[in-house]
Amino acid sequence: MRMPRLTAFLTATAVFVSAFTVCVFPLAAQAAEEVHVLNWKGYGADEPWAVANFEKATGFKVVNDFFNSEQEMLTKIRTNPGLYDVVMINAAFNDQAMAGKLIQPIDVSKLSNYADIAKDKAGSPMLNHDGKVYGVPWVWGLTALAINEKSFDKPPTSIAEMWDPAHKGRVIIRDDAVEAVQFGALASGQNINDIKDMEAVKAKLTSLMPQIKTFWSSENDWNQMVASNQIDIGTYWSGSADRAKTHFKLPVSLVIPQEGSVAWLDAFSIPVGSKNVAGAEAFINYMIDPKFYVEWVTKVGAPVSANTKAVEALPEDAFNRKVMGSPDVAKRIQFQAPITDEQREKYLALWQELKVNVK
């Protein structure tokens, strides 16, 4: 799966920072307090220019930590209570965080940019519970196909391309049980959130294993394989494919196959026990600000912002506006929904069984 200018004036008790449209924060909070952020590495929040801009505008100091899977993320916030102030969570995993009492309600009245979040994203039942907001939508994107342009005269149109014998030993797929099973569901013509025929999914994935060169867990894994021309095609996050092409100048193109793609919504939450809620609110508000987003997508490449004004600020022909916002794409994508622990264990068992056949 895988993204403002300062005008300040004093009030009696607070500093108002308008550059990033950050709301009122106490003067005491401006004295180099740390904001501990947990996110994927290389995913917007740790861009050096972004961190520098935020720190200059607010006086908070950002301390980034990283995870390589959603389960690792949940483990980190569960076993380190009070360490993190902001955590980025795939919305499909938010229910686990809420059920485990790992995240707390967010006072969105403190986030001046929240009003511009797309209503369907802000109102997602995965991020809201009992009238309280537990996650602020940040960006959304796809796990689709990405190709090594050197291996194709023209882009493929179907997921079936990964099974083509011409690509034997040159296919890459993310090492994630849930995503793999969901991709198998797409390949067998099923709904990723309502899989009726797991045997068909197993058969599809079993026949894919001889095609696999390796599995990836991070953008760096994927990018190194295409940079060394060891792969032709594989699953990849849309924002990562954009970064690979825009920032790293790699011969990569995203393909949204006719069978559809797995879609995901990433959101920011505040862990229970945060020692700097004001800093967390400031950071989240900065991350959803259109000014940050436009700079991120232009300099580096990024998924689609959940902020409608941020998307509208892009050029009309920008991929994240023209293609990702098209009705044709909307018809073909399926957003991940939460799954039960029983389903997750079943998917993991299948995936572990399949992976042993990859040399």
CATH of the domain at 146: 3.40.190.10
Q: In this predicted structure, what is the pLDDT of residue 19?
A: 42
285, 345: one domain = no
Nearest to 133 by CA among 109, 102, 108, 110: 108
Taking only the tens place, the pLDDT of each residue in 238-270 is 989 988 998 899 999 999 999 999 999 999 999
148, 242: one domain = yes
215, 204: one domain = yes
Looking at the chain, the whole-number percentage of residues with pLDDT higher than 90 is: 83
13, 50: one domain = yes
> DSSP 3-state assignment of 135?
coil
DSSP character string of 19-33 = TTTB-EEEGGGGTT-
For the ranges 4-8, 61-65, 108-112, 185-189, which has the lowest average pLDDT?
4-8
Taking only the tens place, the pLDDT of each residue in 154-168 is 999 999 999 999 999
202, 332: one domain = yes
155, 290: one domain = no
Nearest to 60 by CA among 92, 26, 94, 88: 26
67, 24: one domain = yes
In a domain, residue 297? The reply is: yes
Q: How far apart are the C-alpha atoms of 60 and 15, rounded to whole Å?
A: 13
Mean pLDDT value of segment 70-90: 97
233, 302: one domain = no
Evaluate if residue 32 carries a pLDDT over 60: no
What total number of domains does the chain contain? 2
In a domain, residue 1? The reply is: no
Q: Is 179 exposed, middle or buried (0-12, 13-18, 19+ CB in 10 A)?
A: buried
In a domain, residue 27? The reply is: yes
Evaluate if residue 12 carries a pLDDT over 70: no
Q: What is the mean pLDDT of the chain?
A: 91
Cross-strand bridge partners of residue 62: 35
Phi then psi for 319, rounded to 5 degrees? -55, -45
Q: In this predicted structure, what is the pLDDT of residue 2?
A: 53
Mean pLDDT value of segment 102-113: 98
46, 119: one domain = yes
Confidence of residue 323 (pLDDT cuts 50, 70, 90): confident
Residues 6+ apart with CB under 8 A from 125: none
In a domain, residue 183? The reply is: yes
CA angle at 280 for the pair 277 and 282, rounded to the nearest 5°: 110
Evaluate if residue 27 carries a pLDDT over 50: no
For the ranges 15-24, 129-138, 273-282, which has the lowest average pLDDT?
15-24
Q: In this predicted structure, what is the pLDDT of residue 246?
A: 86
Taking only the tens place, the pLDDT of each residue in 44-57 is 999 999 999 999 99
**What's the predicted TM-score (pTM) here?**
0.83
Q: What domain range is 159 assigned to?
A: 141-263+324-355
73, 165: one domain = no
In a domain, residue 2? The reply is: no
177, 135: one domain = no
Confidence of residue 110 (pLDDT cuts 50, 70, 90): very high
